[in-house]
Structure 1
Amino acid sequence: MTDVAFPRLSTLSTGLRCRCPRCGEGPLLTGYLTIRESCPACGLDYSFADPADGPAFFVMSLVGVIGMVALMAFDFMAHPPIWVHLVVTLPLLTLMCLATLRPFKGWMVSEQYVHKAAPPVWESIGKHGTGTGPRGRRET
């Protein structure tokens, strides 16, 4: 079986379109945020992909800063009652979060693929509790 050489694609382009980071063709997600097991176009196994809470953190931070600036500007210029914020601003912030969460997740998976992310491997460099204690005294 011959291995096909895939060119390195832009992580931003494939991520924001939620496409496979290797071929750029196959869809990355099923449903709203569930990562597929593998790419239907090139067969890339997505088991390396674990963005965890990264997308949610970045979206909260970005939308929070932009949303608060917009909220304060709106509040200082128009002086609306609080119910206007509940009816307009809160749903707008929610929609901004939901609209950007999927592209951010795709981007983070693409970055993990390009940088060959893998789960951490822990190894011991010695036994704890053996050897000398404070000031070189032997522990008994």
Structure 2
Amino acid sequence: MTDPDYPRLNTLSIGLRCRCPRCGKGPLLKGYLTIRESCPECGLDYGFAEPADGPAFFGMSLVGVVGMALFMWFEFGVHPPVWVHMVVTMPLLVIGCLGVLRPLKGWLVAEQYVHKAAPPEFESVGKHGKGSRWR
């Protein structure tokens, strides 16, 4: 039995919807941020998927830039007391960061699949330090 051909899907669309990067139908995540072992639709093994801290970094950067712009607009335009920022601004920043984690994780896993990302493999060619005075 041969594997069916799967069309190349738009990684941004598939990733933001947290779907399988190969078939686009099966769910990528179980729970909030846990990656499944494999796709229930096409059987793709998600062992290659390791986005590490990428979603958190990109999420905090994105929400931080947009959030700070809105924070400064709110601060300079309205001049609210500090407690208003604690009640309004801080929860909005936290909700924003948590809200973009899942889509960003899905997008990074889809990009890893499309670009066939693999763990780095290092090989020594044995030339480093040979012929050097420093031993």
TM range (shorter): over 0.9
The amino acid across from 1:111 in the alignment is E
The one-letter code of the counterpart of 1:74 is: F
Unmatched runs of 5 consecutive residues or more in structure 1: none
Residues 1:114 and 2:85 aligned together = no
Give the equivalent residue in structure 1 for 2:33.
Answer: 33
Q: Radius of gyration: which is bigger? A: 1
* Aligned: 1:52 with 2:45: no
TM-score, normalization by structure 2: 0.96
What do residues 28-68 of structure 1 show as CA deviations (whole Å, max 9, x unaligned)?
A: 00000000010000000001101000110000100000000
> What TM-score do the two structures reach when normalised by structure 1?
0.92
How far did residue 125 of structure 1 move?
A: 1.2
Spell out the pairing of 1:1-140 with structure 2 (5 A cutoff): 1-126=1-126, 128-133=128-133
The Cα of 1:129 is off from its aligned counterpart by 4.5
Identity %: 72
Query: Can you list the C-alpha shifts for 1:79-127, whole angstroms capped at 9, x where unaligned?
Result: 0000000000000010111111100000000000000000000000115
Over aligned residues, Cα RMSD in angstroms?
Answer: 1.3
